[in-house]
Structure 1
């Protein structure tokens, strides 16, 4: 078994903005159960400090202070650690870089995460901690494989480390001006001139990882093939095709202890396979009451928990609002994002009180209640590397309705009326008519084929959506890398 350091920009239980945090919060513990020694390192954000302010010294342990060079100045680094479920989490502290209101989206993100990656590599030396594998997640850690192979060639301790890079969303690439290469990253400029790290007229942290990492993974088998094409490759497909034999698609799982309708403290009434029908009705009534929907345990309730962006397919839904409002359904929406979508959903709620409810923002407890209280869960994504929400909905016996792309295609088995199989509904073309037709198909099954619906719910709630199977695939990849 391997000693692994995972490098990421966020992770539960400490901080979350997206699905990456769910992965970092779950897969290290699953790998630890398989015998690996796994640690994680991430920035020490202001939001983490604020969250644990009253018990800081109980949670975090100071480990080391040292310097790294940024723009030819020695910049201090302080390392803290904390242990969760047998996994050591390290944190890189720098007040100027990381104690800000948001995690990303600043003009100096290249410098901030260049500092982070330098601090990670120097930490190995400072703590005399030498993992066999450094597993980097998304662009924020994408330069590490390059730094190891180009900047530490004379140090056998670094040169023996293998690197893995996981793409969580290829649309976010970490593209910056090439002028940060030497002064900020410590990477020689000739790597821009020879094309190794060049992308368009600048550099790309993600492309650099594609060139230098020993293995590349992404979060579902279908997405691993989609990103080799111009439609989904975000102009990176040529580089990825050069590395396609080192590219693995490994489907995400979820933390089935956290997402468990039998023990979930946030839902209105706990249930499992034995009493799923009664349990979901009780949760539906609780959700309807809380959100101001008409209380009716028999109406089909559609749930949405999502970022409200173009990627998630909600512009398709915008084209079918009249048909949706005419259908015998209720809709509960939780999310925030693009103003056009938010405003449309707000107007929709105002014009359909008791039928449609929109909660702008994110509320973790309400998310759990929507998973438990809904009958159908909507994810009509344009693209979806893996998706977490459909796995949560399956866990709660709520049937996902998805477009057949990326991890949605890999994790949802569509209803087959002839074979009486499936655990959800899906449509192939990115087309609003096809979406509405599939919603109508689900409505028909719910009201007119209740025995089929109950079978689909049983299939959903008993489906294995844990990390165990995926952790076994990671173990196979790590073994191949080290043999």
Structure 2
């Protein structure tokens, strides 16, 4: 069994902006149950400090060099289940209103990565594997291999690098190479870290890690093409024999309709149909929709961005309003999409609700109450929402891309199979056609709908299979 250090910029239950936090919250626990020793390290953000300050153990203080100055690092830790979480504290860099989006993001996460590398020395802790996640950790394999190559303790470590979303790459000016990362300029000249005139944390992670993974088998193939490769497809093709696609799971304890404390009526596969109707009526009342147990309720919990396919909906608003459905959209994002959904609600009171923002309790109730879950993404490395909707017996309607293609099996009316609905092309007509097709099944083929619902709830969305695959990957690395 392996000793593994996971390095990431966020993790549940401490802090979250996206699916990365779900993975780094759940996967370590699943691996721990397989017998691995897993530790995690993330930055100590303001919200974590405010909530957990009294529970954090102070481990040590040291320093790293940033901009030719020694900058202090304070290290804290906390046990969560079987996993030890470390926190890198620097008030100036991390105790801010949000996690990302600052002009000095490159410097902030260079500091974080340097602090992680030196943490090993300070604690005399030498894992078999360092598993890095996304651009914020992409320079760690490079820095260890280029600047600690004479130290056998560091040389023995193997590196896994996971791409959660290739769109966000951590691209910065070349001046950071020496000042913040302490790396020689020949790495620019030989192309190892060079990207678009600057440096790329993501590219460096892909090139220097021993194995590269991404969060679904289909996405691992899509990113080898110009359509999805975000200008890194040539680099990824260089590593394609070391590239694994491993689909994410979800925390099936937190997301369990049988025990979920945030929904009004708990249910399982046996009583889903009776209890779902009760949840639907309760949500309709709570959000101001017309109370109707028979209408098909379509839910959507998402960031409202172009990536998530919302411009397809924008093209079909008349058809959407004419459909025999009610629609609940919960999320925040791009202003044009938010404004359009506000207008849509104002013109369709009782039929369409737009909840602008994120509310964890209402999100749970949307999953529990809805009949259909809408996810028409342009691209989707894995996706979490369709896994939750399957768990709650809410049939996902998705575009066949990335993890959506790998986890949603489209309804086949002849074979009587499937656990949801899907369409292939990124085309608004195809989206509306499959939505109307789902309506037809819901209203006119009740037995088939119930079969799909049962299949959805029987789908294994846990981390079990994925943790087994990661174990194979770690064992392969350790035996090299």
Aligned-pair distance for 1:268? 1.2
User: Partner of 1:42 in structure 2?
Assistant: 42
Aligned-pair distance for 1:49? 1.4
The structure 2 residue matched to 1:305, chosen from 288, 301, 305, is: 301
User: Partner of 1:135 in structure 2?
Assistant: 131
Instruction: Say if 2:311 is the partner of 1:315.
Output: yes
**Runs ≥4 in structure 1, deviation > 6 angstroms?**
none
Aligned-pair distance for 1:274? 0.9
User: Partner of 2:410 in structure 1?
Assistant: 414
Q: C-alpha offsets along residues 102-128 of structure 1, whole Å, 9 cap, x if unaligned?
A: 100000000000000000000000000
TM-score (norm 1): 0.99
Instruction: Say if 2:346 is the partner of 1:350.
Output: yes
Work out the CA distance in 2 between the residues paired with 1:360 and 1:193: 47
The structure 2 residue matched to 1:281, chosen from 235, 254, 277, is: 277
Work out the CA distance in 1 between the residues paired with 2:473 and 2:80: 25
The DSSP-based 3-state class of the residue aligned with 2:26 is helix
User: Partner of 2:326 in structure 1?
Assistant: 330
Q: C-alpha offsets along residues 175-229 of structure 1, whole Å, 9 cap, x if unaligned?
A: 0001011111111111011110000100000000111000000000000000000
Work out the CA distance in 1 between the residues paired with 2:174 and 2:43: 23
The DSSP-based 3-state class of the residue aligned with 2:302 is strand
The DSSP-based 3-state class of the residue aligned with 2:5 is strand
User: Partner of 2:235 in structure 1?
Assistant: 239
Q: C-alpha offsets along residues 23-47 of structure 1, whole Å, 9 cap, x if unaligned?
A: 0110000000000000000000011
Q: How does 1:191-230 map to 2 (within 5 A)?
A: 191-230=187-226
The structure 2 residue matched to 1:98, chosen from 94, 97, 109, is: 94
The structure 1 residue matched to 2:254, chosen from 258, 273, 284, is: 258
Give the number of equivalent residue pairs: 479
Instruction: Say if 2:380 is the partner of 1:384.
Output: yes
Work out the CA distance in 2 between the residues paired with 1:278 and 1:352: 28
User: Partner of 1:28 in structure 2?
Assistant: 28
Instruction: Say if 2:462 is the partner of 1:462.
Output: no
Q: C-alpha offsets along residues 273-327 of structure 1, whole Å, 9 cap, x if unaligned?
A: 1100011101101110111000011100000000000000000001111111111
Which 5+ residue runs of structure 1 have no aligned equivalent? none
Q: How does 1:74-85 map to 2 (within 5 A)?
A: 74-85=70-81
Aligned-pair distance for 1:441? 0.4
Aligned-pair distance for 1:129? 0.5
The DSSP-based 3-state class of the residue aligned with 1:307 is coil
Work out the CA distance in 1 between the residues paired with 2:274 and 2:192: 59
Aligned-pair distance for 1:419? 0.3
The structure 2 residue matched to 1:126, chosen from 122, 129, 142, is: 122
Instruction: Say if 2:106 is the partner of 1:146.
Output: no
Work out the CA distance in 2 between the residues paired with 1:163 and 1:313: 34
Instruction: Say if 2:445 is the partner of 1:444.
Output: no
Work out the CA distance in 2 between the residues paired with 1:279 and 1:151: 59
User: Partner of 1:453 in structure 2?
Assistant: 449
Aligned-pair distance for 1:48? 1.1
Aligned-pair distance for 1:50? 2.2
Work out the CA distance in 2 between the residues paired with 1:279 and 1:36: 39
Work out the CA distance in 1 between the residues paired with 2:24 and 2:283: 30
Work out the CA distance in 2 between the residues paired with 1:211 and 1:253: 26
Aligned-pair distance for 1:51? 2.6
Q: How does 1:285-296 map to 2 (within 5 A)?
A: 285-296=281-292
The structure 1 residue matched to 2:473, chosen from 468, 477, 482, is: 477
The structure 2 residue matched to 1:399, chosen from 395, 398, 409, is: 395
Which 5+ residue runs of structure 2 have no aligned equivalent? none
The DSSP-based 3-state class of the residue aligned with 1:188 is coil
The DSSP-based 3-state class of the residue aligned with 1:178 is coil
TM-score (norm 2): 0.99
Alignment root-mean-square deviation, CA: 0.5
